[in-house]
Amino acid sequence: MLCPLPFSLQPARHILLQPAQTLHFPQSCLGQWGVDMQQIGPWTFSWMQADHRGAACHCRERRLLPDLKVTIGTSPIPTLRGENVTIPCNITSIDDKKPIRVEWKKTLENGTEKVVHDYEGGRMTAHREGSYMDVEEILKGNAELYLPNIQISDDGEYTCNVTNTPRYASSKTDLQVSVLPHVMTTLNHVSTKHRKETSLTCEVTNFYPQTMTIRWVRYNKDSPGYVVLEEQHTDSPIAIANSDGTFNMTSHLTLRSVEADDEGSYGCIVKLRDFKFVNNIAVPEKSKIGLIAVPMTVAFVILMGILGSKGVAPTLSDITGNEELMHMLRTTLTFQVMKYRPAGLTVSVGLRRPGQQEEETIITCKTSDKIITGVVTAKGEEHPLQPELCLFITKDKYNVCCCECSLSITPSYEDNGAEISVHVTHRKLKSPISVQRILKVARGLPVLGMITSDPTIGEYGKPLTLNWHVTGCDLNNITKVTWADGGGKPVKGIQNETRGPGESLDCTLMITPTAEDYGRIYTCSVHYKDIYIPFTRNVTLRLPVPEHQTHNNENVPSVCINDELHQHNEKNSHHEKEKERNSSHSFISSLTFTPTVNKDDGMTTNYGTFHPATQTEAEKELTIRPTAFPQLDEIQKKQEVVYFGEELNLSCGIHTFNPADMTVTWYVDDSLLPSERSEPIQEPNTGLYHVTTNVRYIPTTFEWKTFRCEVQQGTAEPTHVTWTLKDLSFPSQRI
């Protein structure tokens, strides 16, 4: 018997039921005696037998999330080389209380996958130069991937993988990159004597992908349309690869005997994916072949001469690239100078920061009229943006030029809102043409400088300050700053954090070093919100060798003076030896002490002897030159991330040495590298020298490389430090 009960079901409420009774719940939920569990909407109902009188129903609220879904949309996505593309990726049912990771991968020809861009734990990593995702949009369910300046290497299958712990979903799409061909049709040769054969040629150059079709057609004379020619009239063309990944293909149409029916218009129809190109050519009547063949050639040469001498003014595209740039993150902007002749032009880049009235020119690059095709570059390393302008010029058969331009810069947060301009000057332009773009620079993850010491070489018992400069991030996201030794043990000292201009933070630690601090490593860590691993930097204190270590250290020099008495006397010994067959004697007297550069370098001392029996004496002079062997810091790299094909800067600090002369040599594996070093600086407190040496290297392979900085002073055995390049990004941007 059905018995509706007048109550409203609440979470964690128990209701007694009689046998054969039925509850009517909201959402038409029907529970019956003997059912163990039911799930309806956001509720879970647990049934159990209470006693002989009935059963108990326990209701509790549960959170049911729909399945995680990832959709990309239409596939494939067509694009042309040089364009900018956004690959969509929509995520539904994100649980913002759980960690989320988005990883874009590209499938290579051998079936393996490589990461293009990924986001996890608030950190964004770009493995393809210029790739970008918007962090805020990801949390809204939009994980689209932006790829600027598409190249042939970008062609392929892309997968958007999303993990929202513990759920996972993915979706795939094909990015189809095409390079449109240049199609030219020519009438190769007409014989006026034999007239046995006429050949038409269709040249298709610089296209991608390799799969392409060529058809020859003959247009109807008296009606619209055309007839596809039979295969026996044409050859089977083969695509030939170019060095840039494009292809060339040539097709021939052969007319064995030119009759009256053969004269008319022919067409070469080229189809590349969804693109279609048609080039037509006319075959003259048999009676006119001999008269037309030569004049056509002459007219063609004259026309080429006219076209080649006529100038064409260029046009300028917009500046493209990531919409939002990151503080101190190297990025590349692109633009094109199109359809101009002759090749000589000037491209300059200007910058006007907020509040400035006048624009400053940060870099200029010029090309010559004589350039055929190639790359012209210019660098502006002294400017804060470190601009680098690269012009890649190509020409067609009519000497019409196109220039693909890339501008690499390293913006800071101070450049946010600045206007960057490109100006092009050409002889066919009455005035320069220009395009502008406003830079949007956001604070990213912390940009870490090196920890410095004041003074550079400390003294025992005197205060020393370590300073670490951090820039480019939102200081409100820094939760704490900690100092520790190499073993992770907190160090004692006065810590301080000072906020400076341009969203910078100076972390300082003041200590008074003791002999126990010699060779100790200090670590400063910045803990950033939502980032589990802190950002750290290490430094080894530069301190003189402690006195208690000098007697047991073979590298610490000692001075031995024969036959002398000296006010520094610490150990004085004599040894007498009788010579054979005579009564003469000799002895050796040695004085051992530990000199210092400050007090003893250049000191002159006299030592002598006196023989009472003969009343004779002798005296000599000695100049003391203490030697302090150099100490080497760990090799440091300037770049936070090392990119394939981009310059890597390494440095090594050398300190506490005397004299200043020494030899510094750098190696990569066992190959010699050219290096630079500054002039040695002498510390007034100790008299010892320190210097920094630098080396530059451009990685071109993904193999591990070991760098070695080797120092030799005098005839002593050389000492060295090494560093191995393991992590290499292609191409490298951080966010």
**CATH for 413:** 2.60.40
Residue 173 lies in a domain: yes
Confidence of residue 233 (pLDDT cuts 50, 70, 90): low
Confidence of residue 509 (pLDDT cuts 50, 70, 90): very high
Domain carrying residue 250 = 182-309
- pLDDT beyond 50 at 24: no
Give the least confident one: 90-99, 256-265, 416-425, 640-649. Answer: 256-265
Number of domains in the chain: 7
Residues 6+ apart with CB under 8 A from 412: 327, 328, 384, 441, 471, 472, 502
Cα 212 to chain centroid, rounded: 35
| Residue 591 pLDDT | 67
| Residue 195 pLDDT | 52
Q: Which of 128, 148, 178 is the last residue of a domain?
A: 178
Residue 98 lies in a domain: yes
| Residue 502 pLDDT | 60
- pLDDT beyond 90 at 487: no
- pLDDT beyond 80 at 57: no
Of 668 and 645, the structure prediction assigns the larger pLDDT to 668
Residue 719 lies in a domain: yes
What is the chain's percent helix, strand, coil content, to nearest 5?
10, 50, 40
Confidence of residue 352 (pLDDT cuts 50, 70, 90): very high
Contact 646, 410 (CB under 8 A): no
580/675 same-domain check: no
| Residue 532 pLDDT | 66
150/256 same-domain check: no
| Residue 98 pLDDT | 87
Give the least confident one: 183-197, 490-504, 598-612, 633-647. Answer: 183-197
Q: What is the mean pLDDT of residues 283-304?
A: 41
| Residue 337 pLDDT | 92
149 SS3 class: coil
Confidence of residue 15 (pLDDT cuts 50, 70, 90): very low
Q: Which of 397, 414, 441 is the last residue of a domain?
A: 441
Q: Which residues of 77-112 are buried (b: 16+ CB within 10 A; e: fewer)?
A: bebebbeebebbbbbeebeeeeebebbbbbeeeeee
Give the least confident one: 121-125, 160-164, 344-348. Answer: 121-125
Give the least confident one: 7-16, 297-306, 626-635. Answer: 297-306
Q: What is the mean pLDDT of residues 87-114?
A: 90
Q: What is the mean pLDDT of residues 130-137?
A: 87
Residue 550 lies in a domain: no
Residue 411 lies in a domain: yes
38/133 same-domain check: no
154/217 same-domain check: no
| Residue 480 pLDDT | 87
598/711 same-domain check: no
**CATH for 683:** 2.60.40.10
CA 105, CA 115: separation in Å to the nearest integer?
Answer: 4
* CA nearest neighbour of 469 among 453, 488, 444, 450: 450
CA 716, CA 624: separation in Å to the nearest integer?
Answer: 18
Of 73 and 165, the structure prediction assigns the larger pLDDT to 165
Residue 2 lies in a domain: no
pLDDT digits (tens, 9 = 90+) for 375-389: 888 888 788 898 999
492/574 same-domain check: no
624 SS3 class: coil
193/276 same-domain check: yes
pLDDT digits (tens, 9 = 90+) for 662-676: 899 999 888 888 888
Phi, psi values for residue 629, rounded to 5°? -75, 140
pLDDT digits (tens, 9 = 90+) for 596-644: 766 667 777 776 777 766 767 777 777 777 788 888 888 998 888 887 7
Q: What is the mean pLDDT of residues 31-48?
A: 41
| Residue 652 pLDDT | 92
* Whether the model pTM is above 0.85: no
186/300 same-domain check: yes
44/115 same-domain check: no
288/188 same-domain check: yes
Residue 456 lies in a domain: yes
Q: Which of 44, 61, 78 is the last residue of a domain?
A: 61
Residue 220 lies in a domain: yes
Average pLDDT, the chain: 76
598 SS3 class: helix
| Residue 553 pLDDT | 44
Confidence of residue 466 (pLDDT cuts 50, 70, 90): very high
87/114 same-domain check: yes
488/596 same-domain check: no
Q: What is the mean pLDDT of residues 455-459?
A: 87
Peptide bond into 731 cis (omega under 30): yes
| Residue 437 pLDDT | 93
- pLDDT beyond 80 at 650: yes
| Residue 590 pLDDT | 67
CA 129, CA 332: separation in Å to the nearest integer?
Answer: 8
